Structure 1
Amino acid sequence: MKKIIFSILTLSLATTAMANNKIGVGLGAGVSNSIYKGAEDKAYPLPLLDINYGDFYVKGITAGYTFFKGEDLSLSAYLDPMAGFAVKSDDMGAGYRNIDDRDFQAMVGLRADLNTGIAGIRTGATVQFGEHGSEAKISAFRPYSMGEKLVLVPSIHMRGFSGDYTDYYFGVTSEEAGKNTTDALKSEYKADTAFSFGTTLTAEYKMTDKLSLVGILGVEKFSDEITDSPIVDKDPIFIASIGAKYFF
Structure 2
Amino acid sequence: MRSFHLSVTKSSSVLVRTMTASALVVGLSMPFTAGAAEEERAEGTSSWGLGIGLAISQQPYTDMDRDNDAIPLIYFENDYVEIFGPRAEIKLPGLDITESSELEFNLVVDYDFGGYEEGDERILDGMDDRDGGFWAGAAVTWENEVVDVSAEWLADASGNSDGQRVTLELERSWEWGEHITLTPRLAAVWQDQKYVDYYFGVRSDEARFDRPTYDGKSGINTEFGISGNYRFDRHHSVFLDLEAVRLASEIEDSPLVDRSTENSVSFGYLYRF
Distance across 1 between alignment mates of 2:131 and 2:173: 34
Distance across 1 between alignment mates of 2:153 and 2:231: 33
Residue 39 of structure 1: how far off its partner (Å)? 2.1
Q: Who is 1:114 aligned against?
A: 142
Note the 1:168-179 alignment, pairs <5 A.
168-177=198-207
Distance across 2 between alignment mates of 1:206 and 1:114: 26
Q: Who is 2:154 aligned against?
A: 128
Task: Please say if 1:233 is aligned against 2:258.
Answer: yes
Structure 1: which 4+ aligned runs deviate by more than 6 Å? none
Note the 1:1-248 alignment, pairs <5 A.
1=10, 3=19, 5-19=21-35, 21-22=38-39, 23=47, 24-71=49-96, 72-82=102-112, 85-93=114-122, 95-118=123-146, 121-130=147-156, 131=159, 132=161, 133-177=163-207, 180=208, 183-185=209-211, 187-248=212-273
Q: String of CA shifts for 1:154-198, please: whole Å, max 9, x gaps.
A: 111110011011100000001000xx4xx321x310011111011
| Counterpart contact for 1:14–1:59, Cα < 8 Å | no
Which stretch shows the higher mean deviation, 35-44 or 217-226?
35-44
- What is the identity, as a one-letter code, of the residue corresponding to 1:151? T
- What is the identity, as a one-letter code, of the residue corresponding to 1:173? R
Residue 241 of structure 1: how far off its partner (Å)? 0.7
Distance across 2 between alignment mates of 1:7 and 1:137: 14
Structure 1 residue runs of 5 or longer lacking an equivalent are none
RMSD of aligned alpha carbons? 1.9
| Counterpart contact for 2:50–2:271, Cα < 8 Å | yes
Distance across 2 between alignment mates of 1:49 and 1:141: 24
- What is the identity, as a one-letter code, of the residue corresponding to 2:121? M
Distance across 1 between alignment mates of 2:50 and 2:29: 10
Distance across 2 between alignment mates of 1:49 and 1:63: 11
| Counterpart contact for 1:13–1:50, Cα < 8 Å | no
Q: String of CA shifts for 1:179-225, please: whole Å, max 9, x gaps.
A: x4xx321x310011111011111111112331011111110111111
- What is the identity, as a one-letter code, of the residue corresponding to 1:246? Y
| Counterpart contact for 1:40–1:91, Cα < 8 Å | no
Distance across 1 between alignment mates of 2:35 and 2:95: 18
Q: String of CA shifts for 1:12-31, please: whole Å, max 9, x gaps.
A: 33223334633543121101
Distance across 1 between alignment mates of 2:90 and 2:124: 41
With normalisation by structure 2, the TM-score equals: 0.81
Q: String of CA shifts for 1:69-97, please: whole Å, max 9, x gaps.
A: 233111111111116x412222213x541
Residue 47 of structure 1: how far off its partner (Å)? 3.4
- What is the identity, as a one-letter code, of the residue corresponding to 1:232? V
Residue 5 of structure 1: how far off its partner (Å)? 4.7
Which stretch shows the higher mean deviation, 13-22 or 198-207?
13-22
In structure 2, the CA distance between the partners of 1:116 and 1:148, relative to structure 1 (3 Å rule), is closer
Identity, in percent, stands at 21
| Counterpart contact for 1:16–1:143, Cα < 8 Å | no
- What is the identity, as a one-letter code, of the residue corresponding to 1:136? V
With normalisation by structure 1, the TM-score equals: 0.89
Distance across 1 between alignment mates of 2:134 and 2:75: 20
